[in-house]
Structure 1
């Protein structure tokens, strides 16, 4: 963890599931609790014993301020930290659908601002976060943002902010697609004779295990699929249904991801 963060302090606005996951990662990574100021109107019980400064006045120029509130709470949260604008504090937003321009209106264009899109597996340290900075951010700012956000998983840098809608559609919303796959796979198992409990256990373990294998194997997902598909076997019979160009996964996921990306653009315009 960057020494400047420990020395100058970190302000976390909003400590729900995502903010709490990040804070837990920072504390486990060695950031002193005494260097953290948390602003949250409804703090979880564990925060009261974590040793952080909870709903206290924060430093005038902390190293970082992270805004981790829901988009609908932004109007209430941002005025509380607007005084941190000006350049001395790096502002990081993990609020979905809120563009950098919104933060520049509040903090000023001279404030280094990083917009980030994490996803819910961050709760178990297996998330992936995409980041993009405004014109004021330096490589040092981006490195600091990556260091902080890597506490909950992988971090990737985008080339332009417009890519954030696609990131939202693929990885931000993506866990819900996988959870629905587990639901439907379990239901299909019941339809061919398994008990609900056994079918759900098989579906969870199969999707979870396949995900780890896909992430850690040297082969591409396509090659891994080929590896488990015997000619004229059971897997091929299933894949002929799933890979159908008009009724299978390719067309279905194209439509689903496009719908999510389009909605992300709409939400940004509504800001």
Structure 2
């Protein structure tokens, strides 16, 4: 039981449900950096984040999920959280950060969609396509901060539910209004055939079961859009985070009969998170 609990904890820390995918776009004080945050030990943040998002990537149906927020930081060296995964700042100087990164991508259920924390809402568009298992994504990241600007790139290879390669890129501008921190900027994801065809391709058997036309997807631009977060500290240890994203699927994913006939290319996400931090 202890081993199972440990595995669950690591999975929740490393999981990527698909919302708030930038470093500062998450519930609670960003990276444990509240007014009294210190870099001399462990910081843990716990909380919840109700999220309104498409039932599955490319869906026209919306659903409400409540994601747990569990974030662990050791100084400015090790980080683990739901949106950011499990990583190590092996390089951390002169505004640069870089190192290895691991994330868990939740699979897709043909009856429930892509969220394991679904509360309400759903879609029958995936019936006949089968389930996609969860995948571990291993790779690395690099980012550079220059004044209020931050650029970040992540490259990860999937194992399990998909065998593709994904590259996420984003640029964010940060500003403040009193104690409130605001981040916004563009982002994009490029994926290989192994990912796009797994989620948007339709083989002969799936076509027969679902009624959709067969489709073989290639690699390319998966999505592009903009994201924003508004982080408002409530006190020295807790904060509210409002985050949103507007993205559009690229041609390879958007041209899939699944999206053209049962979904839409434009995707919107809105969430509100609460986090409470304490030090060890």
Same fold flag (TM > 0.5): no
Could you say which structure has the higher helix fraction?
A: 1
What TM-score do you get using the length of structure 1 for normalisation?
Answer: 0.28
**More strand per residue:** 2
Q: Which has the larger radius of gyration?
A: 1
